[in-house]
Structure 1
Amino acid sequence: MRRHFLRGLFCFLVLSQTTVHAQSGATPAIPSPKEHFGFNIGDDYQLATYTQTEAYFKKLAASDRTKLVDIGLTEEGRHQYMIIVSSPENLKKLDRYKEISTKLARAEGLSDEQARAMAAEGKAVVWIDGGLHATETVGTMQLIETAWQLVSRKDPETLRILDKVVILLTHANPDGQELVSSWYMREPKPEKRLLENVPRLYQKYAGHDNNRDFFIMNMKESQNIGRQLFVEWLPQIMYNHHQRGPAGSVLAGPPYRDPFNYVFEPLMITGIDALGAAMINRLNSENKPGFTRLGGSVFSTWYNGGLRTTTHFHNMIGLLTEIIGNPTPEDVPLVPNRLIPNGNTPFPVTPQKWHFKQSIDYSISLNYATLDYAARHGDQLLYNIYKMGKNAIEHGSTDYWTLSPKRIDAITQLHQADLKKAAPGTAGATAPDQYGLLPRGGGIPVKYFEAVLKDPALRDPRGFIIPSNQPDFPTAVKFVNALIKTGIQIQEATADFTVAGKKYPAGSYIVKTDQAFRPHVLDMFEPQDHPNDFQYPGGPPVRPYDAAGWTLAFQMGVKVDRILDGFEGPFKKLPYGELQVPKGKMDATAAAGYTLSAQANNSFIAVNDLLKSGVDVYRLPTGPGGKSSLGAGTFFVPASAKAKAVLDKSAKELGLDIAGVAKRPTGALVKVAPMRIALWDAYGGSMPSGWVRWLMEQYHFPMQVIYSPDIDAGDLRKKYDVIVFVTRAIPAVGATGTGGGGGEGGFASREPKAEELPAEYRPWLGKITADKSIPQLKAFLEAGGNVVTIGSSTNLAYHLGLPVKNALVEMTNSGQERPLSNEKYYIPGSILRIDLDSTQQATWGLSNQTDVYFDASPVFKIAPDAVAKGTVKPLAWFSTNKPLRSGWAWGQAYLQDGVAAFMAPVGAGKLYAFGPEITFRAQAQGTFKLLFNQLYATSMP
């Protein structure tokens, strides 16, 4: 009897404990966030650091619903984690579900029947991340709460999701969370805690631009994330959490406004529509207002390079939400025109006090809406990504014409020309149709479509060839590696071959367009054709969300042949994700020394290593002569054992071809010496400065970061030989100066007072000012120092009173100059072509025409007598009225004959002014040499 009683009591206790766990959502041995952090996720005035979060992730890993994956180290050396969450049964077969996901996404060698069978067997794979922009604290905190709820909840919806979906919860920026949360929580009084004025970039080099790095993946965090997205898993849905929503709303989400990129597969766009409907419906059903979409926000699907947007070019349904919220409570402001329900915002939010927990709750609802959709439509998602890949392969295997504005304009212009020929003096398409040029029912005859979009010369390419004998092949390999990191199939030639009558050497790379991620291939090689997008006819332009054009092959200066017909050769396919190492060679028998090409960016690494080792290096102003293809500025290194050791390593590791010379060059020699380099930065961090800092580290230029107080203190010539000012460092004449950094635009909203900051950060405060800073810079120049300015910092030329003017002006009726209006001239971030004189020292290593990244950049007019007297020397200019290569350039004819870059002596020093963004986001590798050439001291031996 007693035995039965004890057994019954034991069963009762077990059942009671199970019931408690089911009701409370707890899982044995795994603490809730409250138990681990000491507060609930979403509590006002509370943020978790990454150190605390990492420890919690490791506790969650004890669940049979999770697998914790270390995806790599960050730029600051922290471990970056992805938590895979699914049912215990699914986790046992995780490799199979990954295999299905990748095979369907690549769509290689599968029939529709096989794809449907695999889709039925597989599980939908959904990516959810958080924390990329660390001051957008909702993203990180919702990731923690989402992981907890998926691990602990036992409700039917959660169990169905776990059974049907593999979820990849990925922390996007561990370093940023540690910085921002520690900064916020340093204030002991909760009510005084603020996120403002974080002292440095929340990603070591890129800050906010870490979300502009995903088609090149320079940063370690981007590489870690990209490998999971584009090589390892290829999820069907990825959800990228951001802040902040438009004023008067709670969040902006899918679907997004036009334009979308013309290379997309339509199923991707309509897939975004479907997920957007699921998200907004979920919020509306839960009485959570304030979701705005379409034209209700600025977000579009045009740009590549963002964490969310790059997935669009890989047939993934990439989702972005931008939500309000802050651990410090805030107000939803009154924006009257947001209160009228419409298609953009069907359920407006009213003004109110907003707490952090509300944003967390919204985020969980959005995550669950996404996961519920994936659970209900998993087989469809899996099959659709296969279908998009198969369509892309077919388009790349046949003659295909991508629709774009320039093609449509060509159709219209052809028709208009015929109308004018048939009826001179009429009003074009509005003229009466007496000539059979306007079919009944509207439109124009199909023959005009066929004349343009059946023109063989206007076909999309079947592939691209990257010759291995181009001047800067190591940079071409970096471009190839950017493609490999984004999951593109690359082939390498194992022997010499000929295509379209041109011979190519072994080692050349081939990128064909008959692959699933054809949209991304085209986007990296082909120009972007952004539409002329205006608020109304004749009105101001609608600003693109980010860049309008970015073609990476152009930015990196890679030589590419575009092949229109199918072709084959002695090609081997490289394994997905396998990065390439350029193969260099060195002539070890050199008697007199060695030459390095100034055309290869990696030569500057080798030169810096030589200088550090105490080896003499020279430049040849007229090149090595003879049969050498090397041009002006070639590096010459006299033979020595130490030089041989450094260069042998450089050839192997940097892919440099180092030629030996039997005799010392007889022409002019210019000795190279390292400079004491200073790089401007600001409190809060300048993103352009961060990118240049990364560049200098990668290319082994020693440098020191300085701030405005360092400049104002004077005696600059005693400390530095050259000072580099990136864009937004030097204010316009009459402006008050620059601010700090850190925000999306690069600057904090308010510069803090010194007493508000820890002592270590106070020396970073201050601005470049006309009264204090400019006189010190002028004295530095006059004493023999050099200054390099980029972008808007070329304002220094105006402060110094140099004989240059703004070229982009017009005369008013009163005879006054004013800047051209946006209705007449507007060039957002795009790629333009400039001419330059590559025999000048500042431009050594470049060809006579070069593509540059141009973002409303300065353009100059130089007084003719200044050029004649040598007061100002043009370095680069626009020689045509159509310099656009990729993007959008309204009124580009105004650029013709404008100077893009110049050098001006100032006393014993030199000012270099580069209007285009020659180091843009460390992507513009084709113009790095315009900076690097200015970082050496040169003298005749």
Structure 2
Amino acid sequence: MRYATHSLLAVLLLVLNTTLAQKIPSPKEHFGFNIGDDYQLVTYTKTEDYFKKVAAASDRVKLVDIGMTEEGRHQYMLIVSSPANLKKVDRYKEISQKMARAEGLTDEQARALAEEGRAIVWIDGGLHSTETVGMMQLIETIWQLVSRNDPETMRILDQDVILLTHANPDGQEIVTNWYMREPVANKRVLDNLPRLYQKYIGHDNNRDFFIMNMKETRNIGRQLFVEWIPQIMYNHHQRGPAGSILAGPPYRDPFNYVFDPLMVTGIDALGAAMVNRLNVENKPGFTRLGGSVFSTWYNGGLRTTTHFHNMIGLLTEIVGGPTPEDVPLVPNRLIPNGNTPFPVTPQKWYFKQSIDYSLSLNYAVLDYAARHRDQLLYNIYRMGKNSIERGSKDFWALSPKKIEAINDAFKNDPKKPVSTTSAGAAALAQYGMLPRGGGMPVKYYDTVMKAPVMRDPRGFIIPVNQPDFGSAVKFVNALIRTGIQVQQATADFTVAGRNYPAGSYVVKTDQAFRPHLLDMFEPQDHPNDFQYPGGPPVRPYDAAGWTLAYLMHVKFDRILDSFDGPFKKLPIGELQLPDGRIDGGGSAGYVLSARVNDAFIAVNDLLAAGIDVFRLPGGMGSKSTVEAGSFYVPASAKAKSLLDKSVKDLGLVVTGVSKKPAGSMVKVAPMRIALWDTYGGSMPSGWVRWLMEQYHFPMKVIYPQEIDGGDLRKKYDAIVFVTRAIPPVGGGDEDIWRAMEREPKEENTPAEYRPWLGKITPDKSIPQLKTFLEAGGTIITIGSSTNLAYHLKLPVKSALTEMTASGQEKPLPGEKYYIPGSVLQVQIDSTQQATWGLPSRTDVYFDASPVFKLAPDAIAKGSIMPLAWFGSEKPLRSGWAWGQSYLQGGVAAFMAPVGAGKFYAFGPEITFRAQAHGTFKLLFNQLYNTGRSGSQSVDVVSED
């Protein structure tokens, strides 16, 4: 009887489950077509509705709203697993956190938790929205996981907890509406999208993950680094190298030297599972290693930042889209090799094939996780434990500079054994003077790798008493958002003979995410990477150096020995706000430091309210702590009210003064600011637009047609041109001109976007810009847009050239000089209004940036005023700078008067990806009128 009852219950449960499954709509039932049908895409609005229907109908799904997007949409993550697992999902999240952080666990406890837990696997789609395979495969993967009952799917659901996350809802809506606007299906194209597919930064939404400026990045980052910390994350992208179907793991060298080797070999293992799955299913075209450009050096991408957190971060870049295309013939990819074991032949390629490939890859990852879940959980614990142990003792990390130091120690040793023959070397080895088989004596290793000053730090201290503590707190919050454990001093303390005040932040390296922590504080040491000895350089996938503490000009001390103090651990993921205050009574007025970035927010709010604000060119005389360029606000009830708000909201420190400043004051007023942009959207322009919004600068975006129309001075006081806006004299900049060639024809462009068409041209645009300057306007150029200096025939030329044998001047070749994105140091003339608030030595982001040589009499004639220059033959701070000695003496930034106006040229990327907080002031200082409306004259008010 008991058996019959159990059998009846089993039948009833089966019927119930079947009924539930029948209620789950398929993609075709919901959207009207199958995922992967040619010429078909779906909007995020309909996708969101599908997510909700699936979650409501399936007991395998839990829908989580992880936050709002920049355009105000809900961003969703679907947690998919077995019904039994979902009932215990909070416990599995807790286990995942414990294993990733590895604190207070023994190996035995970790193994027990690995046995109890489930593999946590992240799969996303849609980050780059024109890469349409990513967002569509996500929908199909959800459907397959909730509808299939085959043994593999059931094993995956039983052993894995899957986090299926939409990475860019806004972009899917934008791209789909653009593609589907054409009623005739076979005429639909993705080309010529009029705007960026993320509100501000488009494709750069995959370069934001160590600072997390954007809302979507913060939503995703919290799930990855604070909430779930998955063992595997899989980031879908496009497009694969020509002649292949996709590029995937493992990736080409170099990988970053801070990684735990288990992470690197973990990628190898998953990559093998993925390519094996495709090979079993007779799906050719997977390339890896040197078959593509993708490496694991860079931090800051959705996939790459996970590498610095001991996660096995996976990236694939696949071909395909809703419009059928051809796999082109690339003969050198048709020979099987270690990069591409199973080449694909030229053929017509359809959207459904890319979806099928993506589904196979997802299942390969999920099946691997299901079969190896205990290993994955234990391994992430082991990596975290390794990091804690390395940060708890003397440890020497290897890097190219240290290897170079070992070689130098051997080369410069006058007592080293020398032999020019192999027989002689063998004899030296026989008598113990050289190792057998080659090499050099180990003492040269010991000279470098056991030198106390060469060891890794035990931690970092960020003092509260630094010039721009507000920006330092933003840096601390970037660490906190990426799951770093930060501590704060509850009382004054002393470490290594230096006294620190209460409120200072402490970041110790004995924690699981030590690789990321070191990467934010320490310089990157990119190897000299060339195609062959003496040949051209191999371009890094993205930046070569990015040390965030340098870019944000955070003052910190690097502590080599173990230390402790009155420190409290801050809750993981809890953001910080500095303690703001008004020091002094302020009976006469208030002073805001020129060194503090957030002071510009307060000033802009005061100006918007009609309150007078002045700058102090000489500081405050008797108050040596008040530097040149600081802001002075005369006392009033309205000013006090707004400053109180800034103190509360920004943590701003304001100085109240009882007497008006002695000496001169320069009255400032808001400018009418224009920011260049272009049809299709400029990412650097989008970053600056976001930056200006954050710092409350009023601004309007303008396009080339408006510039060509003239009368600019009647509408604007300043125009900002970011990199890639101004073409070179005579053409030749491939990136600019390639983008211009893609510009659509007016008749094919919807009317609302036609005013955005056009480009900056020498014949129409440059004369209008010159007229604008001569009439008293200000133009600020950044990066390659400093080309305008040459169009204006200013007395400057490139400093990065050489003379040929025939007497012709040409750019330095890559074999002699090559600096991809890196952090360099320049000297600043901090006495100038343009550079107020900056130190005399300043770190800048340099990305193959222009460097200038001035005409011999340019300074004497007053036609050029240098603002920043390279004063050293070794300015590299972080990254890779081949031939950096060529920079010495070159001018990095200058101001030139043009008629009644001012032209500013900033070669370095002073606003780079809104990461370079330390150089924001080089833009901000130029965005105030220092005189009467409509002129460049200065109102100087003498005060007692």
TM-score when scaled to structure 1?
A: 0.96
Shift of 1:655: 1.4
Work out which of the residue numbers 749, 752, 764 in structure 1 matches 2:756.
764
SS of structure 1 residue aligned to 2:388: helix
Shift of 1:425: 12
Distance 1:112 1:736, change over 3 A: closer
CA distance in 1: counterparts of 2:178 and 2:626, whole angstroms: 52
Structure 1 match to 2:933: none
Matched, 1:780 2:776: no
Counterparts of residues 117-136 of structure 1 (less than 5 Å):
117-136=112-131
Matched, 1:525 2:517: no
Work out which of the residue numbers 452, 459, 472 in structure 2 matches 1:456.
452
Work out which of the residue numbers 31, 39, 45 in structure 2 matches 1:51.
45
CA distance in 2: counterparts of 1:53 and 1:748, whole angstroms: 34
CA distance in 1: counterparts of 2:155 and 2:537, whole angstroms: 47
Structure 1 match to 2:710: 714
Shift of 1:433: 7.3
Structure 2 match to 1:7: none
Structure 2 match to 1:85: 80
Contact kept in structure 2, 1:227 and 1:485, CA below 8 Å: yes
Work out which of the residue numbers 543, 546, 550 in structure 1 matches 2:546.
550
Structure 2 match to 1:5: none
Shift of 1:587: 3.4
SS of structure 2 residue aligned to 1:528: coil
Matched, 1:610 2:610: no
Shift of 1:18: 8.7
SS of structure 2 residue aligned to 1:869: coil
Structure 2 match to 1:894: 886
Shift of 1:864: 2.4
Matched, 1:96 2:75: no
Structure 1 match to 2:917: 925
Sequence identity percentage: 77
Cα deviation digits, residues 70-128 of structure 1 (max 9, x gap):
00000000000000000000000001000000000000000000000000000000000
CA distance in 1: counterparts of 2:874 and 2:422, whole angstroms: 26
Work out which of the residue numbers 177, 200, 203 in structure 1 matches 2:198.
203
Distance 1:868 1:11, change over 3 A: closer
CA distance in 1: counterparts of 2:638 and 2:509, whole angstroms: 46
Structure 2 match to 1:27: 21
SS of structure 2 residue aligned to 1:934: coil
SS of structure 2 residue aligned to 1:669: strand
SS of structure 1 residue aligned to 2:663: coil
Aligned-partner residue type, residue 484 of structure 1: I
Work out which of the residue numbers 869, 873, 876 in structure 1 matches 2:868.
876
Structure 2 match to 1:3: none
Shift of 1:668: 1.1
Structure 2 match to 1:365: 360
Shift of 1:422: 5.0
Aligned-partner residue type, residue 103 of structure 1: K
Work out which of the residue numbers 292, 297, 317 in structure 2 matches 1:297.
292
Structure 2 match to 1:829: 821
Counterparts of residues 800-811 of structure 1 (less than 5 Å):
800-811=792-803
Shift of 1:29: 1.2
CA distance in 2: counterparts of 1:730 and 1:505, whole angstroms: 48
Distance 1:719 1:726, change over 3 A: same
Work out which of the residue numbers 466, 470, 487 in structure 1 matches 2:466.
470
Distance 1:431 1:632, change over 3 A: farther
Cα deviation digits, residues 748-799 of structure 1 (max 9, x gap):
7611001111100000000000000000000000000000000000000000
Work out which of the residue numbers 768, 787, 809 in structure 2 matches 1:795.
787
Distance 1:417 1:16, change over 3 A: closer
Structure 1 match to 2:146: 151
Distance 1:84 1:98, change over 3 A: same
SS of structure 2 residue aligned to 1:117: helix
Structure 2 match to 1:632: 628
Structure 1 match to 2:574: 578
Shift of 1:230: 0.2
Aligned-partner residue type, residue 160 of structure 1: R
Question: Which one is further off, 703-712 or 441-450?
Answer: 441-450
Cα deviation digits, residues 105-155 of structure 1 (max 9, x gap):
000000000000000000000000000000000000000000000011000
CA distance in 2: counterparts of 1:541 and 1:436, whole angstroms: 39
Aligned-partner residue type, residue 827 of structure 2: D
Distance 1:12 1:826, change over 3 A: closer
Shift of 1:439: 2.5
Contact kept in structure 2, 1:803 and 1:862, CA below 8 Å: yes
Structure 2 match to 1:910: 902
Work out which of the residue numbers 165, 170, 187 in structure 1 matches 2:165.
170
Matched, 1:280 2:272: no
CA distance in 2: counterparts of 1:269 and 1:824, whole angstroms: 32
Structure 2 match to 1:244: 239
Computed over aligned residues only, the root mean square deviation of the Cα atoms, in angstroms, reads 2.0
Shift of 1:432: 8.9
Matched, 1:567 2:563: yes
Cα deviation digits, residues 640-681 of structure 1 (max 9, x gap):
111101111111111111011111112110001000000000
Structure 1 match to 2:934: none
Contact kept in structure 1, 2:77 and 2:165, CA below 8 Å: yes
Work out which of the residue numbers 804, 815, 818 in structure 2 matches 1:812.
804
Structure 2 match to 1:688: 684
CA distance in 2: counterparts of 1:555 and 1:884, whole angstroms: 13
CA distance in 2: counterparts of 1:524 and 1:730, whole angstroms: 33
SS of structure 1 residue aligned to 2:292: coil
Structure 1 match to 2:102: 107
Aligned-partner residue type, residue 119 of structure 2: A
SS of structure 1 residue aligned to 2:926: helix
Shift of 1:630: 2.3
CA distance in 2: counterparts of 1:437 and 1:338, whole angstroms: 48
CA distance in 1: counterparts of 2:847 and 2:422, whole angstroms: 36
Contact kept in structure 2, 1:329 and 1:353, CA below 8 Å: yes
Contact kept in structure 2, 1:684 and 1:740, CA below 8 Å: no
Structure 1 match to 2:742: 750
Matched, 1:439 2:435: yes
CA distance in 2: counterparts of 1:896 and 1:737, whole angstroms: 25
Structure 2 match to 1:406: 401
Number of aligned residue pairs: 923
Aligned-partner residue type, residue 690 of structure 1: G
SS of structure 2 residue aligned to 1:28: helix
SS of structure 1 residue aligned to 2:731: coil
Unaligned stretches of 5+ in structure 1? 1-9
Aligned-partner residue type, residue 246 of structure 2: L
SS of structure 2 residue aligned to 1:879: coil
Distance 1:472 1:748, change over 3 A: same
Structure 1 match to 2:32: 38
Distance 1:907 1:279, change over 3 A: same
Structure 2 match to 1:374: 369
SS of structure 2 residue aligned to 1:714: coil
Structure 1 match to 2:3: none
Distance 1:421 1:446, change over 3 A: closer
Aligned-partner residue type, residue 36 of structure 1: H
Structure 2 match to 1:480: 476
Distance 1:422 1:52, change over 3 A: closer
Contact kept in structure 2, 1:484 and 1:576, CA below 8 Å: yes
SS of structure 2 residue aligned to 1:623: coil
TM-score when scaled to structure 2?
A: 0.96
Matched, 1:233 2:228: yes
CA distance in 2: counterparts of 1:14 and 1:347, whole angstroms: 48
Aligned-partner residue type, residue 43 of structure 2: T
Distance 1:428 1:658, change over 3 A: farther
Contact kept in structure 2, 1:301 and 1:309, CA below 8 Å: yes
